[in-house]
Each structure stands twice: as C-alpha cells, then as structure tokens.
Chains A and B, each alone.
Chain A
Amino acid sequence: MPVSVRLPTVLRTHAGGLSEVSAEGATIGEVVDDVVRQFPGTANHLKAPDGALHRFVNVYLDDEDVRYLGGLDTPVSDGAEVSIVPAVAGGTG
C-alpha cells in the first residue's frame, strides 16, 4: 500500500524537486528502499553501506522517531505519513 513520504529540501534535488513522494512498503525499511529505487540519487543520503539507515538522517512515522519505534522494521500502516529529516548537530566538542 502506498504511503506518502515527505522529503527535506536537501533531498529534493535528487527527487525531481518533489517535496513529497509516494512509496510502497509494509515497513519503514521497505518504504525507504522504494524511495531509493525510484530516486537512486537519494541512496547515499538515506542508507549506510551496511544497509542501515544513514546515521545523519532521521525518519519519522507520524512524527515519532523510528529509532525509538522498531527502526527499519517498524510496520507502516495505510495512510501513514513518513518524514525524512536531516540530523542537524555539531559543536566544538
């Protein structure tokens, strides 16, 4: 079933300028993989070499951080909204 995936500004150049795309998947991992399949330019931003979620990207399922749900295995239900957000952090430490 398709869910809507909100892309951050920094990813839109890799997705034809779209702010929101439709993707298929029963879990967050499958949804992210479908975004990468449709827009291969997003791969390096979304996935780590080992297949995990890139550590500088946060994914929210209806505004809940999936790292605190079930990670990539988090089930996605019909009509859910998935949002991808860059992790913004730094500092001298």
Chain B
Amino acid sequence: MLRLRRQQWIEMVAHGLDCLPEEACGLLVGRPDGLVEAFRPCTNTDRSARTYAIDGREILRVERDLDASGNGLEVVGVMHTHTHTDAYPSPTDVERAALLASWHFLIVSLRHPEPVARSYRISDGEVAEEPIELVVR
C-alpha cells in the first residue's frame, strides 16, 4: 500500500499541471512501510509528452541529502504523469522498472479534468496495483 498525505498529493498534481504538455516526474521520499513524507519534483530531461527520464545526478543529490539527514527516510518510489492516457504502466514503464522491484510506481493521469492516481509494484515484468491511502492528520 502507498500512503500519501494531502500535502504531497497537492504538490504532485501541481507539478504535473505545471509541466503540461510534457510528462512530469518526481521522487517519492518516505519510509519503507510505504508512507510518503515528501515529494521531490524532478526535471523531465526528455522534455516529452510521451516519455520521462530523471537525470541520475538529481537522484544522487536527493539520496545524498537523505543519507546526510539521518532521519531514516529514503527514496521509495517515483511519480510520473500520463498526459493523454490512463494511469496504467506502459510497456516502457514496465521494462524500465527492472531493477526497482522495491519501489512504488505512482502514475497520475491528467487525461481528464480531474487527476486520477494509481499506484503499482512492478517486479519481473509483472504489474500489481496497490491501494493508495490518503492520510489525513
């Protein structure tokens, strides 16, 4: 299960809308139990409406910051938007997730006026949807 606070959800949707017509992406920072504590928006280096890529140096910078803070938070997943399709992993998403079986893959579809989020685990090419809980407190 992926657990999101209202604040991170608002930040993700805002980042997604800001990046239109291109796909947006960012890292989910949280705890191994799936509670996301922060969203780190990243630059889509593909600058594309159909694909996204995050510069490895940006990932490195986030991981270094987290290690230095010593608060037990780590990168637990990635969010990206689909601008004109539903929130389901594409074959590209599945292929590129090969080494990231422990991550949560949150996809936000901006196809319709109301954003739609769905989250997945992707392991050995198998896609399993997981529930998203909005934590309000």
Chain B: minimal CB distance from A28 (Å): 14
For B60, give its contact among A45, A85, A89 (CB under 8 Å): A85
Q: Which residues of B contact A56 (CB under 8 A)?
A: 96, 98-99
Interface pick from B6-14, B78-86, B129-137: B78-86
Q: Is A13 an interface residue (CB 8 A)?
A: yes
Q: Which residues of A contact B84 (CB under 8 A)?
A: 92
Q: Are A90 and B100 in contact (CB under 8 A)?
A: no
Q: Is B59 an interface residue (CB 8 A)?
A: yes
Q: Are A60 and B56 in contact (CB under 8 A)?
A: yes
Q: Mark A25-57, 1 if CB is under 8 A from B, else 0.
A: 000000000000000000001000000001011
Chain A: minimal CB distance from B6 (Å): 25
For B92, give its contact among A85, A87, A91 (CB under 8 Å): A91
Q: Are A8 and B96 in contact (CB under 8 A)?
A: no
Q: Are B48 and A91 in contact (CB under 8 A)?
A: yes
Q: Which residues of B contact A83 (CB under 8 A)?
A: 60
How many residues of chain B have a CB within 8 Å of chain A?
A: 35
Q: Mark A3-33, 1 if CB is under 8 A from B, else 0.
A: 0001011100100000100000000000000
Once A and B bind, how many residue pairs between them come within 8 Å at the CB atom?
91
Q: Which residues of B contact A87 (CB under 8 A)?
A: 53, 56, 96
Given the known inter-chain contacts A8-B59, A9-B74, A60-B56, please indicate yes or no for A92 contacting B82, CB distance below 8 A: yes
CA distance A83 to B59 in the complex (A): 11
Given the known inter-chain contacts A88-B78, A91-B92, please indicate yes or no for A10 contacting B102, CB distance below 8 A: yes
Chain B: minimal CB distance from A41 (Å): 12
For A85, give its contact among B51, B56, B82 (CB under 8 Å): B56
Q: Are B46 and A91 in contact (CB under 8 A)?
A: yes
For A88, give its contact among B23, B48, B54 (CB under 8 Å): B54
Q: Are B100 and A88 in contact (CB under 8 A)?
A: yes
Q: Are B52 and A65 in contact (CB under 8 A)?
A: no
Q: Which residues of B contact A92 (CB under 8 A)?
A: 50-51, 82, 84-85, 90, 92
- A58: nearest chain-B partner, CB-CB: B56
Closest 4 CB pairs of A and B: A91-B51, A93-B50, A89-B53, A90-B93
